[in-house]
Amino acid sequence: MKKKAFITGIAGQDGSYLAEHLLENDYEVYGIIRRNSITEHQRLRLNHLDNKITIEYGDLLDISSLENKIIKIKPDEIYNLAAQSHVRVSFDIPHFTVMNNAIGALNLFETVKNHSKNSKIYQASSSEMFGRCVDEDGFQREQTRFEPTSPYGCSKVFCFNLTKHYRIAYNLFAVNGILFNHESPRRGSNFVTSKVVKTAVRIKNKLDDKLILGNLDSSRDWGHSKDYVKAMNLMMNHSKPDDFVVATGETRTVKELCEYVFKKLDLNMDKYISQSEKFMRPEELRFLCGDSSKIKKELGWKPEYSFESMIDEMIEFWGKNHDKNVIEY
């Protein structure tokens, strides 16, 4: 019998790659999407999978929608990827972000505990939880303390703790993937990698003449979403539930990201880039660099993309799509 996977956030960047990865591994794939007034936008990243997966309306904040589906499907694996995932937006809508991410996850854990205790559950935890903390050797790892610097980060710490609590208290197979930033052509265009690549490509094509950014000095450990969804699936098929950091172990500043992209497009970035308060954050997470030795050693995970091959793929993608309203993935 095929394994059944249920994905919240299936229409997001990671959800769509995870659905593809699970289909390739012979899973039946189910997921929920929220109602959106522009239906076409909602399924954009999933159009190519239309006949292969089962999508229904559902919302983490509507526990009845979760119960109905989980009782009916009885999934072997549940991936909780749904979240208000934009850090800067979380300063503008802190109540919604915390309610959605934290109470949403609680609704899902309660549903599993009460109706489907054998379903394994993956929680999309984040390097944003580390906030101000870096170990002395310049890395963050499973043992590093959490000191989040945003409402989003605080909501994710709640979910991380909830996952461990339900694992211990109710014996659920509940795992935390502590994923560092990961990008792709499917990354929302208001995250910094997509924003920089898309705008630089538009500048090259004379459709834009400036790129306005916030903090250029913060450092991020950027990997590819395709590599990271494979890590999620490995964690769910481990012999025991545990928590794992997933990262590349390399870090670059936003300025270095811009330098790479503009050089690749043969553009002088000093002519086009400026900064605005609008894109600054009340508190910035300054530095991320992850040590993923544990998942490499215990589960044999290894990323295929380098920073350069990932950004090159994004440049190629936006080269074809920078002037389109409807994008085909």
Q: Which sequence positions are flagged as catalytic?
A: 126, 128, 152
Output 32 or 213, the one with its CB closest to ligand GDD. Answer: 213
Least spacing, CB of residue 279 vs ligand GDD, in Å = 4
Per DSSP, what are the bridge partners of residue 4?
A: 28
CA distances for 167 relative to 77, 194, 203, angstroms? 15, 36, 50
Torsion over CA: 250, 255, 258, 262 (sign):
negative
Let me know: does 276 contact 214? Beta carbons within 8 Å. yes
Under the binding rule (CB under 6 A), the answer on residue 97 touching ligand GDD is no
Under the binding rule (CB under 6 A), the answer on residue 128 touching ligand GDD is yes
Subset of residues 215 to 244 that bind ligand GDD, contact rule: CB under 6 A: 215, 218, 220
- String of contacts with ligand GDD for each residue 182-201, x by CB under 6 A: --------xxx--x------
- String of contacts with ligand NAP for each residue 35-64, x by CB under 6 A: -x----------------------xxx---
Closest of 118, 10, 23 to residue 60, by C-alpha: 10
Torsion over CA: 25, 28, 33, 35 (sign):
positive
Collapse the DSSP code of 183 into the 3-class scheme (helix H, G, I; strand E, B; otherwise coil) and give the result.
Answer: strand
Among 4, 12, 20, 49, binds ligand NAP (CB under 6 A): 12
Output 38 or 169, the one with its CB closest to ligand NAP. Answer: 38
Distance CA 329, CA 321 (A): 10
Let me know: does 166 contact 109? Beta carbons within 8 Å. yes
Least spacing, CB of residue 152 vs ligand NAP, in Å = 7
Where on the chain is the footprint of ligand NAP (CB under 6 A)?
8-9, 11-15, 32, 34, 36, 59-61, 81-85, 100, 104, 124, 126, 179, 181-182, 188
